[in-house]
């Protein structure tokens, strides 16, 4: 059972990672002059949309969270609306935090906001898919021994890796190398993306290695 679930996790994660790689390559066939660095904002949109669509589909297919009870349509709609609001709020929150960390306040608002959207896709969206609009569950997952399934473990790892990647992505900005990828927010969004992809790959491996130590509380 556990092995099978782990294999499903690995497949889902690899799919996500491949889809991100594809977002960098495929649009160049349709759009003239598309490149990750040159038309960064377009890529940010494409990447966020692709990752979110894929995540939602995977969530619906794999149903990693079986405990969600059958509920009425109106309940589902309200849940969905709540998710949307949460996602939007997390975008705003990320934007505010990025600005507080030193991003320009007035100039390049679009860039900053799209970066915030990307970060939200990598972090908040995953939480919404897996845990639903339930802040208390989120708080529980992100603490020591808080994970209750390998999906939640994977969520922990990918979220931390994305944020850490975005953080490290800020490091090359002051350097005087005059490279195109040092422009705000390219290095940060690339850092977050690489972090996310690394997290996707690390998570199954880490779970595999630590499968003896990992004991999940029953619900």
What residues make contact with another protein under the rule CB under 8 A? 97, 99-102, 134, 136-137, 139-140, 142-144, 146, 148, 167, 170, 174-176, 217, 219
Question: Whole-number minimum distance, CB 147 to another protein, in Å?
Answer: 11
Interatomic CA distance for residues 188 and 171, integer angstroms: 9
Interatomic CA distance for residues 148 and 178, integer angstroms: 46
Question: Whole-number minimum distance, CB 16 to another protein, in Å?
Answer: 24
> Looking only at Cα atoms, what is the longest distance across the chain?
58
- By beta-carbon proximity to another protein, the closer residue of 88 and 101 is 101
- By beta-carbon proximity to another protein, the closer residue of 69 and 219 is 219
Which residue pairs from 76-80 have beta carbons closer than 8 angstroms and sit at least 24 positions apart in sequence?
79/132, 79/133
- By beta-carbon proximity to another protein, the closer residue of 23 and 187 is 187
Question: Whole-number minimum distance, CB 73 to another protein, in Å?
Answer: 26
User: Tokens at residue 149, please?
Assistant: 């399934």
Q: Which residues contact 203 (CB under 8 A, 6 or more apart)?
A: 9, 13, 153, 154, 157, 158
Question: Whole-number minimum distance, CB 27 to another protein, in Å?
Answer: 32
Question: Whole-number minimum distance, CB 139 to another protein, in Å?
Answer: 5
User: Tokens at residue 94, please?
Assistant: 């990320």
Q: Taking the alpha carbons of 211, 213, 214, 218 in that order, is the dihedral positive or negative? A: positive
- By beta-carbon proximity to another protein, the closer residue of 43 and 122 is 122
| Cβ pair 91, 113 in contact under 8 A | yes
Question: Whole-number minimum distance, CB 218 to another protein, in Å?
Answer: 10
- By beta-carbon proximity to another protein, the closer residue of 99 and 198 is 99
- By beta-carbon proximity to another protein, the closer residue of 35 and 172 is 172
Interatomic CA distance for residues 81 and 84, integer angstroms: 5
């Amino acid at each position: 059972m556990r092995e099978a679930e782990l294999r499903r996790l690995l497949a889902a994660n690899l799919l996500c990672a491949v889809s991100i790689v594809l977002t960098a390559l495929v649009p160049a066939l349709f759009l003239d002059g598309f490149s990750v660095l040159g038309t960064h904002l377009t890529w940010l949109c494409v990447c966020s949309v692709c990752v979110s669509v894929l995540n939602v589909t995977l969530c619906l297919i794999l149903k990693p969270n079986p405990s969600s009870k059958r509920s009425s349509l109106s309940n589902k709609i309200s849940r969905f609306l709540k998710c949307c609001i949460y996602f939007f709020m997390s975008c705003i929150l990320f934007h505010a935090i990025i600005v507080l960390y030193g991003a320009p306040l007035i100039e390049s608002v679009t860039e900053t906001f799209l970066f915030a959207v990307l970060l939200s896709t990598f972090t908040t969206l995953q939480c919404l898919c897996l845990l639903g609009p339930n802040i208390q569950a989120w708080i529980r997952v992100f603490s020591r021994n808080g994970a209750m399934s390998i999906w939640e473990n994977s969520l922990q790892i990918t979220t931390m890796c994305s944020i850490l990647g975005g953080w490290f992505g800020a490091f090359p900005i002051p350097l005087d190398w005059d490279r195109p990828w040092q422009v705000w927010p390219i290095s940060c969004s690339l850092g977050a993306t690489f972090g996310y992809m690394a997290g996707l790959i690390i998570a199954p491996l880490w779970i595999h290695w630590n499968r003896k130590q990992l004991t999940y509380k029953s619900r």
